[in-house]
Structure 1
Amino acid sequence: MQVPAGLFLTFEGIDGSGKSSQCKRLDEALRRAGYDVVLTREPGGSEGAEDIRRLVLEGDPAKWSAETEILLFTAARRDHMERTILPALAAGKVVICDRFADSTRMYQGMSRGDLRATVDQLHNLMIGREPDLTLLIDMDPATGLSRAKGRQGTEERFEDFGLGLQEKMRAGFLALAAEFPDRFRTVDGAQDIDAVAADVLQLAKAALAARVKAAQQ
């Protein structure tokens, strides 16, 4: 099933909030409902962006400054937009993206310095697009960090900054939700996974219905 002008939906949240699992569950639910869906992630989602992902998510937490990371994430996002997101939206597909520019606004722009204006300037210059709907999975920082560290993967560079960063991130994401109320919806991540998935699906279906209704007017 195609959607007029497509629908660009992103998930945000602190590390360990469960957003990646919810991305996959929403992808499966919408596919069962007949929608054409592209499930992608950031950093990554295209060949060039995946190369940059390995640079920024692995290794010593101190190997990049926040300023350098902003440039790297924006470069990855530009390639991702050109090669994956924009073509899918033009084809009327639903794009579900695990993180987008709001994560850069948080991790590099606010939580590791006062660089939010720099992030926004680069975003406006090189990306120029916000999601149609952003689902924030809100989670207690200590619980989220414990979950994230329990994965024992190789992409733990940001988790290694510790609980302090996660606390700043949660506060920052909630502030972003208040700043952009038209596109942000906050979901209680402390619920069991099925309850979170039900809330997410309800919000996504409402956004899809609104998009179709707007196109018919």
Structure 2
Amino acid sequence: MKTKNGELVISLLFIVLLIAGAVLVSVTGPKDDIFRGISDKTTELSIINIEGISEKITEPVNESGLKIPHTIERYELSTLDTQKMREMLKNGEKIPVVIDGASYTMNLGRMRVNAPDVVSQTFSFTGNLDNAKKSEIVLTISENTLIARINVNGINYIIESTPEKSESGRVIHFSYRSVDVIDEGKSFLENRIDRIKYSVLRMISN
């Protein structure tokens, strides 16, 4: 019991220190794109890694051509073997995925879409993560691109495509968390605190 209380006190102190730091930055530092250059593609831990499908991009990329919204502070670039994933989905296979270092299995079912503007050979799926308490997946895949939203523990993890291709000829995708998106309706400090809360919750859960 004492150990748990001690961990809680340390966590609360950590939150106070981080918030104090955020206040200092908000007062003394620039408020526009202050963290724009920090990308999770430079770290070992992937935001979303679809095992056997995703390949993190390590070579230099002209990021100005990717058309990634400026409100996304942190993101990760990768290419996807969409052909392999389509075959797995077609065969009803469950797809392993690692999200923020935690391993899950995607359990997906085909969603019938009859809209006339839906491109041929584009398929949509919904489902959940087999070994998560609360999760939801919405995913659309074509021959070359993937768009997905995975909600787990109240956080949205998103994959989107860009107009650019890698040296291998595959479309470049970017993944990010909902907490990595600046809410332009909130102040700089409020956005910083939201990010700090997420970081602390991850630290405690690990």
TM-score of the aligned structures, taking structure 1 as reference length: 0.28
Higher relative contact order (CA closer than 8 Å, sequence separation 6+): 1
Structure in which a larger fraction of residues adopt strand: 2
TM-score (norm 2): 0.29
Which structure's CA Rg is the greater one?
Answer: 2
